[in-house]
Amino acid sequence: MKPQVELAPGTRHTVASRPSLTSRRPRVALFSGNYNYVRDGANQALNRLVGYLERRGCTVRVYSPTSPTPAFAPEGTLISVPSIAIPGRGDYRLGLGLPRRIRAHLAEFAPEIVHVSAPDWTGTAAQRFARQAGIPVVASLHTRFEKYAAFYGASLVRPAMERHLGRFYRNSDRILVPTPAIADEFAEAGLGEKTRLWGRGVDRSQFTPLARDQAWRRTMGVADGEVAVLHFGRLVREKGLAAFAALCRRLIAEGLPIRPLVVGDGPERPWLEQKLPQARFAGHLMGADLGRAVASADLFLNPSTTEAFGNVTLEAMASGLPTVCVDVPSGRNLLKDGSGLLFAHGDEDGAMKALRLLVQDGRRRTQMGAFAREASKAYDWDSASHQVLECYMDLLGRSLAPPSAQDLGLISRAA
């Protein structure tokens, strides 16, 4: 018999000991810190999830800060919550909680599941609302927020941040994490019974080696004999920009024929342009343009320590690129079977050894890129989103399959 999940005081919901015979899909209130006003791995996963849930018969409302200039059209019904720009990071917004208007909207919607994806004021307020109403709470982990402090001169606040995150996850009925290594961390903290896996997917038709374009490389200023070392993602400190710049500068100083290629945009672009004038900047791209840019690089360098899953690594893999990545759970989870090289956090010499190996050996790059493309087959968006639906249904004590005739007969006899 499945043990009952330990809940915070005041929570009335209990987890069913076995699935019931109903397959009715739930009404879900999803709370996000950024659903579509910038493009990143977290909101990509959330939008894919909402699209899948609605196709499977769920009713979903999304509550998130919004912007007059969103990065893309959202999946599902999006309700704007009050927010302010984060000081020093005006591209991101901080939700300010649940005012009366939003609470009334929630009460009218009557969700059966509250899914919180960010531990901000709005996420924690939604968590409290759900506990008071007896609604089960699912929390999902998308980034390692506790590691952000070191990049913004705020290391002293990390212990307080970790305590807040601990409370946030303990006060949830289920915790969705993207990798087995992170699941192990939660198990060590005594939260193994609550923790479930939610992987990620990749669009292998958008990210494909077939999109490689030699003419595009030339227009970007990448010479035919140069090895394009890719940085791919938001240009923010926590993505390892300082390490990327330092490693590229060392490669150039050694006389290796590399050309840094930066795909993405963000507040740190002027800093990176100054630190790495040899780089070529493609800016923010989407769709086929993005797929072409990634496939047109030669290797991907990912020194970020804050990734929870590493969507950009998976997209580079699907594009046929070998990856050199810092050895953190996200990179370790993806770079298996010869599809990339890992280096220890802070080991710049180890990173250089891996980079030299790939820069100087085109055959090895091609072989690793082929392995990476093959490994990306294991990651499908619908399969990943289905893990979340399974979690919701299990938490509500429901079955994904409709009751069989035999089950209906048992109900009739029991009646």
Domain boundaries, the chain: 27-201+380-414, 209-378
Residue 412 has pLDDT above 60, yes or no: no
User: pLDDT tens across 169-187, in order?
Assistant: 999 999 999 999 999 999 9
Q: Are strands 195-197 and 227-232 parallel, antiparallel or unpaired?
A: unpaired
Question: What whole-number distance in Å separates Cα of residue 296 and Cα of residue 230?
Answer: 9
Q: Is the pLDDT of residue 38 over 90?
A: no
CA 337 to chain centre: 23
Q: Which of 387, 398, 16 is nearest to 201 (CA)?
A: 387
Residue 8 confidence class, pLDDT cut points 50, 70, 90: very low
Angle between helices 158-170 and 121-133 (to 10 degrees): 30
Is the CATH code 3.40.50.2000 the one for domain 27-201+380-414? yes
pLDDT for position 308: 83
pLDDT of 327 > 70? The answer is: yes
Give the Cα separation of 196 and 187 in Å (integer). Answer: 10
CATH topology identical between 27-201+380-414 and 209-378: yes
Q: pLDDT tens digits for 245-288?
A: 999 999 999 999 999 999 999 899 999 999 999 999 999 999 99
CATH number of the domain located at residue range(s) 209-378 in this protein: 3.40.50.2000
pLDDT mean across residues, the chain: 88
- Give the pTM: 0.84
Tokens 């392995």 sit on residue:
371
Describe the crossing of helices 381-395 and 41-55 by its angle, rounded to 10 degrees.
70
Taking the alpha carbons of 255, 263, 212, 302 in that order, is the dihedral positive or negative?
positive
In this prediction, residue 408 carries a pLDDT of 47
In the chain, % of residues over pLDDT 70: 87
From residue 21, alpha-carbon distances to 18, 104, 263, 308, 405 in Å are 10, 32, 49, 35, 11
Cβ–Cβ under 8 Å, residues 314 and 334: yes
Cβ-defined contacts of 98-103 (< 8 Å, 24+):
98/122, 98/125, 98/126, 98/129, 102/63, 103/129
Half-sphere exposure of 134 (CA within 13 A, CB side): 3
